[in-house]
Amino acid sequence: MSNKKSIMDYETVALDDGKSALVIIDQTQLPYNTEILELTKQEDIWDAIYLLKVRGAPAIGVAAAIGIYLAAKEIKAETYDEFYQQFSKAKEYLASARPTAVNLFWALDRMDDVVKANKDKSVAEIKELLHKEAVEIKEEDIWVCKQIGEYGLSLVKPGDGLLTHCNAGQLATAKYGTATALMYLGQERGYNFKIFADETRPLLQGARLTAYELHESGLDVTLICDNMSATVMKNGWVNAVFVGCDRVAANGDTANKIGTSVVATVAKRYNVPVYICAPTSTIDLNTKTGADIHIEQRPAEEITEMWYKKRMAPEGVKVFNPAFDVTDNDLIAGIVTEYGIARAPYTESLKEIFAKKEAAKAAKETK
């Protein structure tokens, strides 16, 4: 029996409190090198988020929570006001790393709430509460992903063909993934899914990460170019599309990796349902529609030079490189959350999801 570690044996994102380090897999090095980074400086944590060394909305949220805890741990302050001033500065800095992923702000705001709710406590006590919250955010993410997987399984049957775009797998979360959670749970239960993974240009997260982790885990996965999704759907090989997302607007429009809206449009043509796997932390009811979501623009070199031995575009050519696109809600069959599946009209069903979440929270607090 081989003792070689699989990528699934590593934690995507973790805290080493003894070393005061955020520990991540450098996803820019996959699949060729499994490099574990121990990040102790805020500048390095910011770079890791911006440069996609850690990526995926849930993983970014966990990394942000750990990152701001580590920043707070280093603050030298005697009074609450002095501590909070430095904490806010660190929070603002980390928040600037990725503008589209709502989990980044959600996690930072949640940590901020801990500080503000405990202003009567000592700085040392606040730091310990931040440590506890960061750990809890990670543990919750594992539970959330498994719940999404359970609800996702209710939408498919054994032997189905599934297509996914980008990486919403374990490498994008603390465990299981969002869009891949049902695939892993299905594997445990003998569903024998046939999975198609889009390569996901220009950064190839589908090829480097999704195909890699699914293959390493023994699932039946076939890698395709982004422009092949119509062919496999037309051939009847795909029964459902499952993707993750970085933000869900109140009307059900969703921002996910560039190319998702193309997949959804093609799926509509061939009557293949598209399901968005979205932790409630990615749902932003304060953002009315997808038109209100700020889309991050990435460097031109990702298209013109990355992955090539020689530049593959003429010098000086204009480049448009948005990191995400918005899938209109009428292309979406359902939004799968840890509290159930929302369906159109999303302005109503998403509110119902949050009502279930609040009810579950209240029930937990009364125990």
* Residues annotated as part of the active site: 246
Which amino acid, residue 349? S
Alpha-carbon torsion angle 309, 315, 318, 319, nearest 10? 10
Which residues in 90-160 belong to E strands, given as ranges? none
Segment holding 220, helix H or strand E? strand 220-224
Residues sharing a CB contact under 8 Å with residue 171, sequence separation 6 or more, in sequence order: 7, 12, 25, 27, 30, 55, 56, 59, 177, 209, 213
Segment holding 247, helix H or strand E? strand 247-249
φ/ψ bin of 320: left (φ > 0), alpha (ψ from -120 to 50), beta (otherwise)? beta
The CA distance from 105 to 122, in Å, is 25
The CA distance from 255 to 264, in Å, is 12
How big is the chain, counted in residues?
Answer: 367
Q: What DSSP line would sit under 312-329, residue for residue?
A: -S-TT-----BSEEEE-G
Which 3 state secondary structure label does DSSP give 162?
strand
Q: Do the beta carbons of residue 140 and residue 280 sit within 8 Å?
A: no
The answer to whether the bond into 299 is cis (omega within 30° of 0) is no
Q: Do the beta carbons of residue 59 and residue 12 sit within 8 Å?
A: yes
Distance of CA 114 to the CA centre of its chain: 23
**Strand ranges of the sheet holding 13-16, from the earlier edge strand across to the other edge:** 13-16, 21-25, 36-39
**Longest CA span, the chain:** 67
